Amino acid sequence: MNFLGYPRPDGSAGIRNYVLVIPWGFLAAKICDLVDGTRTILTADHGSGRTSRDRETIARTLIGLGRNPNVAAVIIHTQGVGAGYPELKPTRLAEEIARSGKRVEILDAVKEGSTLRTLEKGVHLAREMVLEASRIRRQPSDLSNLAIGVKCGHSDTTSGIAGNPVIGNLFDRIIAAGGTAFFGETTEIIGAEHVLAKRGINAEVSRQILEAAARTEAIAKSTGEDIRTVNPVPSNIAGGISSLEEKSLGAIHKSGSAPIQGVLKYGERPGGKGLFFVDNWMSMGSIFPGYAASGAQLVIFQLGGGGMVGNDLLHTSTAVVSPLMWTTANPKTLARAPTSIDFYSGTVIEGKDTIEKAGAKLLKLVLDIASGTMTKVETLRHTDPSQIYLMDPCF
C-alpha cells in the first residue's frame, strides 16, 4: 500500500511540505505570521539556566525537527536566547540538519545590523524557500517511508478494550510493511514493563526497558511520593481505571505485538526501521515534538474520555511540523468532540468490527492523511505551545 509523499534528498518522504524557522522568538514568530507554508516551535525551553545535558536535548529536538521529512527547508536565526551555548550554536544546528540534503540558511541578526532588517531578509528568504518547496510534487511512496508516533490520554475502559488495541493493529501493519512506529510514556508502562521487556529484540533492549521504568519510579520515590498515588490521574479513575498496573496493561496495547527494536532518548532518531520505545513523559505538549524530532510524520492521540469536561477538543499539534490525528473508542467522547475526532474505534465494542477490521480502516485513513487530506484540527490556524522533555533542574 502506498501514500503520496514529497520526496526528500535523503530518500525519505514527507506527508507535509513546510519551511521550518528555528529557534523560536520574535523573528521566527513574525516570519511565520507573514509567510504561508512556514512553521516554528513555540516553547519556553530555550537553554538558559539549563544543564549541558538538557541543552543537548533541546538541540537534538531542533535538529530532529529540521530533519523531519515534512520539512523541505530550514531557516536558523541567531537571535535565539541559547545561541551562545556550544550545543545550540546556529552553525552546529545548520550543519547537522544539512546532512539530510535539504536547504538550510542562517539568518544573522548581527550581520544585518538590526532586528527589523533581519526580519525583512527573513521574510524574503522564507518566501523564496516556500516557492521552491511548492514546486515539489507528491509521488507514490510505500509504507516503509512512513513513521508514526502515538500517545494515549484520558484513558478509560474503552482505551484498553478497543482504542489502544486498534492503534496497535495499525502499528503492526505499518511495521510489517517496513515502516517505523514510536510509543512511550514511561510513567505508563510501570506495572507492565515486564510484559514489554519480553518483546525486546535482545537482552540489552529488554534491560533498557526495565531500567527506564525503574528509573522513573525511583525519581518519584526521591520526592517522597509513591507514583501509584499520583497515577492513575483523576480522569482515569473517573473512567473506571483502578490502579497504575491496570492502566499500564491497557496502555501498552497501543504498541501492537511487533518486536521492540530499541529504546530511544527523547528526540533521538532511530538507527533503523521498526517499533521503538521512547523514554519520555505523557504530556501531549511534550511527547509530540519529541516524536517529530525522531522522524514521525504523523502523531496520534488515542483518547479515552474519563473526566472530560465540555464539548470539543480543538487542541492542535504540538509536534510543530507533524499533523495531529485524534482517535477514540468512547462514544461519549465522539459525541462531545465531533469537530476534532478523526477516527472512531468504538465499533469494536459495539460488535460491528473486529480489531483487525478497525485496524484496516484506520490504516486507510492514515494513508489518506499521509497523501494530503487534513486532520480535523489541522484546519485550525491556532498553534498550541510545545514543551521539550528535560530531565534536570533549571538553575
Per-residue pLDDT band for 306 (boundaries 50, 70, 90) equals low
Look at the chain and report how many structural domains it folds into. 2
Query: For residues 110, 113, 117 and 122, what is the CA-based torsion angle, rounded to 10 degrees?
Result: -20
Do 91 and 151 lie in one domain? The reply is no
Do 101 and 158 lie in one domain? The reply is no
Residue 32 belongs to some domain of the structure: yes
Question: For the residues 278-297, what does the mean pLDDT come to?
Answer: 96
Using the Cα atoms of residue 141, residue 142, residue 147 and residue 152 in order, give the sign of their dihedral: positive
Do 87 and 159 lie in one domain? The reply is no
Do 301 and 166 lie in one domain? The reply is yes
Residue 7 belongs to some domain of the structure: no
Residue 160 has pLDDT above 80, yes or no: yes
Residue 1 belongs to some domain of the structure: no
Distance of alpha carbon 337 from alpha carbon 152, whole angstroms = 16
Distance of alpha carbon 395 from alpha carbon 374, whole angstroms = 41
> What pLDDT is stored for residue 242 in this prediction?
73
Do 151 and 209 lie in one domain? The reply is yes
Identity (one letter) of the amino acid at 204? E
Q: Which of 197, 145, 194 is nearest to 174 (CA)?
A: 145
Burial (0-12, 13-18, 19+ Cβ within 10 Å), 211:
middle
Q: Which residue has the cell 518522504?
A: 13
Can you list the positions of beta strands (E) in 46-98? 71-77
77 strand-pairing partners: 107
- pTM to 2 decimal places: 0.96
Cis peptide before 234 (omega within 30 of 0): no
Residue 385 belongs to some domain of the structure: no
Residue 389 belongs to some domain of the structure: no
Name the region of 295 (left: φ>0; alpha: ψ -120 to 50; beta: rest): left
In this structure, are residues 175 and 142 in contact, taking their beta carbons and an 8 Å threshold?
A: no
> What pLDDT is stored for residue 305 in this prediction?
84
Do 22 and 107 lie in one domain? The reply is yes
Can you list the positions of beta strands (E) in 25-173? 38-39, 71-77, 103-107, 139-142, 147-153
> What pLDDT is stored for residue 115 in this prediction?
93
Tens of pLDDT, residue by residue over 288-300, are 999 999 999 999 9
Do 299 and 345 lie in one domain? The reply is yes
List of residues 6+ apart from 213 with CB closer than 8 A: 186, 189, 190, 193
Residue 158 belongs to some domain of the structure: yes
Do 229 and 102 lie in one domain? The reply is no
Query: For residues 20, 26, 29 and 30, what is the CA-based torsion angle, rounded to 10 degrees?
Result: -110
Residue 229 has pLDDT above 80, yes or no: no
Do 200 and 288 lie in one domain? The reply is yes
> What pLDDT is stored for residue 207 in this prediction?
98
Residue 5 belongs to some domain of the structure: no
Domain boundaries, position 58: 18-135
Residue 392 belongs to some domain of the structure: no
Distance of alpha carbon 154 from alpha carbon 18, whole angstroms = 31
Question: For the residues 102-131, what does the mean pLDDT come to?
Answer: 96
Q: Which of 94, 117, 135 is the last residue of a domain?
A: 135
Do 254 and 347 lie in one domain? The reply is yes
221 strand-pairing partners: none
Do 216 and 295 lie in one domain? The reply is yes
Question: For the residues 140-144, what does the mean pLDDT come to?
Answer: 97
Do 117 and 216 lie in one domain? The reply is no
Name which of 63-67, 156-160, 204-208, 236-240 the model is least confident about.
236-240
Residue 105 belongs to a domain with what CATH number?
Answer: 3.40.50
3-state secondary structure of 262: strand
Residue 44: how many other CB atoms lie within 10 Å: 9
Identity (one letter) of the amino acid at 43? T
Q: What is the DSSP letter of 200?
A: B
